[in-house]
């Protein structure tokens, strides 16, 4: 799938940031330049883009029924349409574009316009297959956020999660952030937990009881194969893969004690990281691959610690609360999100990775667990029991706004992990 | 403090295709948690007067009261086998005083059936994270194993596994249920 800037105009930053009033945006239908007479391609692009912009928390999408202009009879380039048609329905921004589809694939052009200033802010050309169209929309949503906020959006990425939607067994799934492309990775009637991605979302590491005892499995989504990782040191009960996909930190239980080990992706041991008779679990690796965060009961209750993956003494980070666990590094590596228990339920908190004051970011509604950062660092995905079932939600960290559920349907969803941006 | 041996490499790395791993799951029938419809704590039976004990030879292990994951897959979850469960305080893994007699009964049964092996399963209630609870369940299983060994059962006959909070006997969100779920289950095999 190719992408190029289409004569991008000067970028005007008009959105102040989280907490400001939502901007209004109209996403017009695409003009069919040939081969998309039933608007299948155009609708897939526009529908995905509207959903992603809604999930961003920055925009209110103006109802398409209010749109005055007919995209097919008007143009999409600057000067070929009337800004008054968009100003009169109170649009701050409008997206317009065109599509042609045929044997050579899909060619798609989209522009973001600032209605008040009557100027083009950004434009992109995309070439690819029909199956790539939703991804073109996600990339355009990310580009809109970049044009409007100065920071690329997070939607060209994936979510991995655990769900019982297929029955009573916990299976691993992946999906887009906007809920499309649901893919069931595991299909064994046992217990599957703790998916983690490498940065490119090519590999998924997860824990499974499919052999009737827990072990880690490293699935290569591209090659459609996987490797089982057992340990000579004991029973593997958890783990995470490093952002570069080269290393794994595994939690291994022996004689009741659970400790963390650094291993290669092929399973060769590099070093033992913790050595206590208690519990050391929930490893998280920093984006630069240098630091480990984990949960340990060495103080008498579960607390978050950080240490160098080169070894050395851990440093305790959390001191308030008697149950802090499931740390996740922000993409810059400067913060950790984690879950902290209060009155029998959990809330999500953040804390500086070097130590400092914790900040509560969820609101005490239901039990809120297993935070994972978006690749741009503005959002967290987490599981919550605030509704009838446990669902995955997206929130904006800066203003603590819970934007939307990211999952729906039968069963309970848990253990969300947000990948990095997908490759070209 | 239990030292963890730190040998060289040696991790098993076996490859299989995802296609195999992704074999279609049959339509799962919702498990009836009959044992949990009552909010009363599960009765703790001594090994001798537990009717399940006499069925071991006839019906074989895995027909109920055996390995919890196997029973759960087969829709037979929650039945008692020849050995009785023990229970734990919240976020604790020390054997409670009242469970000493249960473990002694379990040890007597194991001594009377020397051809059997037992897998101690550690289980937790729903509070807390999934991974921490698997580690906590491992502690609970190990505590019972250690106790049985001090009662004279050979350690080689006893294995342990933790299911964390993944296989609850009872799904209500209150202490009457949680106290049933914080348990060690003893699955016997020939």
Residue A248 has a pLDDT of 98
User: In sequence order, which residues have a C-beta less than 8 Å from that of residue A45 and are 6 or more positions away?
Assistant: A30, A97, A99, A108, A110, A133, A134, A136, A137, A140
Instruction: Decide: helix, strand or coil at residue A87.
Output: helix
Tokens linked to B1: 């403090």
The two beta strands, A413-418 and A158-163, are antiparallel
Question: What is Dmax (Cα atoms) for chain B?
Answer: 51
Would the CB atoms of B25 and A228 count as touching at under 8 Å? no
Q: Which residues of chain B have pLDDT under 70?
A: 1-65
Q: Note the pLDDT tens digit of each residue in A305-330.
A: 999 999 999 999 999 999 999 999 99
Pairwise CA distance, residues B140 & B124, whole Å = 9
DSSP single-letter state for residue B1: -
Q: Which residues of chain A have pLDDT under 50?
A: 7-14, 16-18
Residue A423 has a pLDDT of 81
The domains found in chain B, sorted by start residue, are 61-189 (3.30.1330.60)
What is the side-by-side order of every strand in the sheet holding A335-342?
A324-329, A335-342, A345-352, A359-360
Entry pTM:
0.88
Would the CB atoms of B13 and A167 count as touching at under 8 Å? no
Q: Does B44 touch chain A (CB under 8 A)?
A: no
Pairwise CA distance, residues B18 & A171, whole Å = 14
Count Cβ atoms within 10 A of the Cβ of residue A125 and give its class: 0-12 exposed, 13-18 middle, 19 or more buried. Answer: middle
| Helices A40-55 and A133-149, packing angle to 10 deg | 40
Q: Does A212 touch chain B (CB under 8 A)?
A: yes
Q: Note the pLDDT tens digit of each residue in A398-409.
A: 999 999 999 998
Residue A51 has a pLDDT of 98
- The residue of chain B with its CA nearest to that of A265 is B13
Q: Give the B window 74-133 contacts with A, CB below 8 Å.
A: 91, 93, 127-132
Pairwise CA distance, residues A125 & A97, whole Å = 9
Pairwise CA distance, residues B150 & A398, whole Å = 56
Nearest to B161 by CA among A235, A230, A210: A235
Would the CB atoms of A237 and B27 count as touching at under 8 Å? no
Residues of A in contact with B162 (CB under 8 A): 214, 237, 253
User: In sequence order, which residues have a C-beta less than 8 Å from that of residue A75 and are 6 or more positions away?
Assistant: A31, A81
Q: Does A202 touch chain B (CB under 8 A)?
A: no
Residue B53 has a pLDDT of 35
**Nearest-CB residue to B138 (from A232, A253, A282):** A253
Q: Note the pLDDT tens digit of each residue in A354-400.
A: 999 999 999 999 999 999 999 999 999 999 999 989 999 999 999 99
Q: Does B163 touch chain A (CB under 8 A)?
A: yes
Do A214 and A236 meet the contact criterion of CB atoms below 8 Å apart? yes
The domains found in chain A, sorted by start residue, are 2-149 (3.40.50.10070), 158-418 (2.120.10.30)
Instruction: Decide: helix, strand or coil at residue B149.
Output: helix
């Amino acid at each position: 799938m190719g992408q190029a800037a289409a004569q991008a105009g000067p970028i005007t930053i008009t959105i102040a940031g989280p907490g400001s009033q939502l901007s209004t945006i109209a996403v017009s239908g695409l003009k069919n330049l040939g081969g998309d007479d039933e608007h299948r391609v155009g609708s897939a692009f526009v529908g995905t883009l509207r959903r992603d912009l809604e999930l961003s928390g920055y925009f209110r999408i103006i109802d398409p029924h209010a749109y005055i202009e007919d995209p097919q009879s008007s143009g999409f380039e600057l000067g070929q349409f009337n800004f008054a048609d968009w100003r009169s329905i109170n649009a701050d921004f409008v997206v317009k574009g065109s599509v042609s589809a045929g044997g050579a694939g899909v060619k798609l052009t989209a522009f973001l316009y600032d209605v008040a200033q009557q100027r083009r802010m950004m434009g992109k050309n995309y070439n690819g297959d029909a199956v790539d169209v939703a991804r073109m929309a996600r990339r355009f949503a990310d580009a809109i956020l970049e044009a409007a906020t100065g920071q690329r959006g997070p939607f060209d990425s994936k979510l991995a999660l655990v769900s019982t939607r297929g029955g009573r067994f916990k299976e691993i799934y992946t999906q887009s952030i906007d809920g499309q492309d649901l893919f069931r990775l595991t299909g064994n009637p046992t217990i599957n937990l703790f998916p983690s991605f490498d940065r490119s979302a090519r590999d998924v590491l997860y824990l499974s009881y499919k052999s009737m005892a827990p072990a880690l499995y490293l699935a290569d989504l591209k090659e459609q194969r996987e490797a089982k990782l057992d340990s000579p040191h004991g029973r593997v009960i958890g783990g995470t893969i490093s952002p570069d996909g080269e290393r794994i930190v595994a939690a291994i239980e022996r004689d009741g004690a659970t400790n963390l080990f650094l291993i290669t992706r092929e399973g060769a041991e590099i070093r033992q990281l913790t050595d206590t008779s208690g519990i050391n679990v929930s490893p998280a690796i920093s984006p630069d691959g240098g630091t480990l965060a984990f949960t340990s009961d060495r103080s008498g209750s579960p607390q978050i610690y950080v240490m160098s993956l080169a070894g050395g003494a851990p440093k305790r980070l959390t001191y308030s609360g008697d149950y802090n666990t499931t740390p996740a590094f922000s993409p810059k590596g400067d913060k950790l999100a984690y879950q902290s228990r209060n009155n029998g339920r959990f809330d999500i908190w953040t804390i500086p990775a070097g130590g400092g004051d914790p900040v509560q970011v969820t609101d005490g509604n239901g039990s809120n667990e297993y935070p994972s950062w978006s690749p741009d660092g503005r959002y967290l995905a987490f599981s919550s029991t605030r509704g009838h079932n446990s669902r995955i939600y997206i929130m904006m960290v800066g203003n603590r706004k819970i934007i939307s559920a990211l999952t729906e349907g039968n069963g309970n969803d848990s253990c969300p992990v947000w990948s990095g941006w997908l490759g070209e | 403090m239990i030292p963890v041996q730190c040998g060289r490499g040696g991790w098993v790395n076996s490859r299989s295709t995802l296609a195999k791993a992704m074999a279609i799951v049959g339509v799962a029938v919702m498990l009836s948690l009959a044992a949990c419809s009552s909010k009363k704590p599960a009765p703790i039976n001594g090994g001798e007067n537990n009717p399940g004990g006499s069925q071991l030879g006839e019906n074989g292990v895995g027909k109920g009261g055996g390995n919890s994951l196997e029973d759960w897959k087969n829709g037979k979850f929650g039945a008692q086998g020849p050995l009785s469960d023990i229970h734990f305080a919240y976020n604790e893994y020390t054997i409670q005083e009242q469970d000493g007699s249960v473990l002694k009964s379990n040890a007597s049964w194991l001594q009377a059936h020397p051809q059997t092996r037992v897998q101690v399963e550690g289980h937790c209630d729903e509070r807390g994270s999934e991974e921490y609870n698997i580690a906590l369940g491992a502690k609970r299983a190990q505590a019972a194993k250690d106790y049985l060994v001090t009662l004279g059962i050979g350690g080689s006959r006893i294995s342990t596994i933790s299911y964390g909070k993944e296989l609850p006997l009872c799904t209500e969100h209150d202490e009457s249920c949680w106290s049933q779920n914080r348990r060690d289950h003893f699955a016997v095999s020939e």
